Structure 1
Amino acid sequence: MAQHNAPAAHGAHDSHAHDSHAGGHASFKGYAIGFILAVILTVIPFKIVMDGTMDKGTILWTILGMAVVQMIVHLKYFLHLDSSSEQRSNVIALLFTALILVIVVAGSLWIMHNLNANMMVM
């Protein structure tokens, strides 16, 4: 009888640990932090562009930097991707998608550049 209760208690402990882990990720506080960070990371580049006091190169790199940080915020707070072993396959799928995207964009730009260079020769 004690042996029968032990697996049930162990199973209940595991599901409770999983619920608290998932609850920690999907909490209102986590979503609020993510939302506030996303708004800040959107307002700063908007303000920089509207002021127009910086040179265009600095504005471009600032916007790109803020965009990368915002992507990380979205991945962490809204998509709940982290370095845990449970998320490993999701992170690998995301990295593979990014690799394919880079290949497609770089290949397209390369093809368009070569077409432009070859078509403009008279």
Structure 2
Amino acid sequence: MNHQTKGLPKTQVYGFVLSLVLTFAALFIALKTSISFTAIMWIIGTLAILQAGLQLFMFMHLTEGEDSPAQTINVIYGIFIAIVTIGGSIWVMSFGM
């Protein structure tokens, strides 16, 4: 199917603006608040996860192709790889192993 339409791609623009809002919210929390470092890290991490989900749905067309389970499996695999990479990096930086 050809889904080309004339005009502005409203969904992508909305997703881009929302991504910018989440990014600037994290920046504001990191630089302009006086809450504890741990709370700042949790808030920024939560905003990062929200932004990743937003980009999956707005830009990577996660909801398209619902008939095939391959897309869902690929997303789950990608999340697994991200968790292993982040967890391994934290482990190495913390314990030097």
TM bin, normalised by shorter chain, reads 0.7 to 0.9
Flag the structure with more relative contact order, 1 or 2, with Cα contacts below 8 A and sequence separation at least 6: 2
* Distance across 2 between alignment mates of 1:91 and 1:41: 25
For the Cα contact (< 8 Å) 1:81–1:87, is it kept in 2?
no
Match of 1:77 among 58, 63, 79: 58
Alignment root-mean-square deviation, CA: 2.8
Greater helix share, 1 or 2? 1
List alignment gaps of at least 5 residues for structure 2.
Answer: none
Instruction: Tell me whether 44-53 or 81-90 shows the greater mean CA deviation.
Output: 81-90
User: Given that residues 31 and 78 in structure 1 are in contact (C-alpha distance below 8 angstroms), is that contact kept between their aligned partners in structure 2?
Assistant: yes
Q: Output the CA distance in 2 between the equivalents of 1:87 and 1:42.
A: 32
TM normalised by structure 1 equals: 0.61
TM-score, with structure 2 as normaliser:
0.74
Q: How many percent of aligned residue pairs carry the same amino acid?
A: 22
Task: Pick the aligned partner of 1:45 from 26, 33, 46.
Answer: 26
How far apart are 1:89 and its partner, in Å?
Answer: 1.4
CA contact (8 A) 2:26 2:47 kept: yes
Paired residues in the alignment total 93
Tell whether 2:34 aligns with 1:86. Answer: no
Structure possessing the higher radius of gyration over alpha carbons: 1
**Closer, same or farther in 2 for the Cα pair 1:105/1:61, shift >3 Å?**
closer
